[in-house]
Amino acid sequence: MRRLSYRHALREAFDEELARDPMVMLMGEEVAQYNGAYKVTEGLWAKWGDKRVMDTPISEAGFIGMGVGASMLGVRPVMELMFWSFYTVAWDQIINNAGMVRYMSGGLINCPIVIRGPANSGTNVGATHSHTPENVIAQFPGMKCVVPATAYDAKGLMKAAIRDNDPVMFMENTLLYGEEWDVPDNSELPDGELVIPLGVADIKREGSDITLVCHGRAVHTCLKAAEILQSEHGISAEVVDLRSIRPLDEETIFNSVRKTHRLICVDENKPFGSIGSQIAAMVQQHCFDELDAPVLRVNSLDAPAFYSPPLEKIQNPTPEVVVARALEIC
């Protein structure tokens, strides 16, 4: 088993998919010659050249729409938003074109695209650069949305996303790019490659007293909280990493709640209409008799991202807050 950074794992996924299918190509601002603003695509332009790895001007609506159009002819563009926050500039292309064309054409057309890039706050880059739009995107039927928390998941989910025939919105995290995890070499794998299907959650830590449902960086917040709950309070928390937001693995969530009877949804969305809101609604409906306490949510504090470093730090869920909320219901 090798240790691989999150960015390196993504790069491997691109490299393997570029090799597998000549229709796969990467594009975005600074992805080619600059090697990526966050070095995710480093070395790929040198290896694959201008046609497969392409720099674009700062024209998000234009180049993303161009990728959507090309995908209707069977090209499989993987498009980087330097920050997912810039989705607002390309909103019409993403939602109305990529998201709706299949339905409006009565199924005649599909858009096998991936739009990817970092979608996180917590780096003091201000309100406009700190959006976490997975809840916004997942609101639209036709869209798929994936948020990996580890290098292993990032690689396997990216390969599945590229092979998927629907638009997949892939949300990474600048605070995780440099972190390392175990990622098997292809030679160690029975199928010779790592592909993780969309719509399958992963239990990152087993437990019996309370379920923490989370995704993205909040997974690591929850894992730390679970450690504190165990060591300081003797509470055994189960950490369910959604990995994929839409499609969503509701069975894994429900099974965990049936075991622990308590649930906190933790994510870095703003609370109104967060991913946790959706899950809370589903769990109270489908697991009502299993619950021994109200479902709680821990979200980013309900204001735009604060620039000031110490203030932004407390805006996002911390292990301490998760522990405090858990103690309220355990």
Ligand X SMILES: Cc1ncc(C[n+]2csc(CCOP(=O)(O)OP(=O)(O)O)c2C)c(N)n1
Active-site residue set:
60, 129
Helix, strand, coil abundance in the chain, percent, nearest 5: 40, 20, 40
The interaxial angle of helices 6-20 and 44-52, nearest 10 deg, is 40
131 binds other proteins per the rule CB under 8 A: no
C-alpha distance across the termini of the chain, in Å? 38
Q: Among residues 58 and 189, whose Cβ is nearest to ligand X?
A: 58
R_g (Cα) of the chain, nearest Å: 20
From residue 98, alpha-carbon distances to 3, 48, 69, 73, 304 in Å are: 36, 26, 9, 13, 28
Q: Among residues 60 and 153, whose Cβ is nearest to ligand X?
A: 60
307 binds ligand X per the rule CB under 6 A: no
Selected from 14, 86, 152, 254, the binder of ligand X by CB under 6 A is 86
Where in 2-31 is the site for other proteins (CB under 8 A)?
29-30
80 binds ligand X per the rule CB under 6 A: no
Selected from 12, 16, 17, 60, the binder of ligand X by CB under 6 A is 60
89 binds ligand X per the rule CB under 6 A: yes
Q: Cα-Cα-Cα-Cα dihedral of 27, 28, 29, 35, to 10°?
A: -50
Selected from 82, 160, 176, 237, the binder of ligand X by CB under 6 A is 82
Q: How far is the CB of 59 from other proteins (least distance, A)?
A: 5
Contact between 244 and 201 under an 8 Å Cβ cutoff? The reply is yes
Stretch that binds ligand X, among 82-90, 94-102, 227-235, 285-293 (CB under 6 A): 82-90
Q: How far is the CB of 14 from ligand X (least distance, A)?
A: 20
Q: Whole-angstrom Cα distance, residue 204 to residue 215?
A: 11
Residue 29: phi, psi to the nearest 5? -75, 125
Selected from 46, 109, 128, 182, the binder of other proteins by CB under 8 A is 128
Stretch that binds other proteins, among 72-80, 106-114, 247-255, 310-318 (CB under 8 A): 310-318
327 binds other proteins per the rule CB under 8 A: no
Q: Whole-angstrom Cα distance, residue 64 to residue 321?
A: 38
Q: Which positions touch other proteins (CB under 8 A)?
A: 29-30, 33-35, 37, 55, 57-62, 86, 88-89, 123-129, 270-272, 297, 299, 301-304, 306-312, 314-315
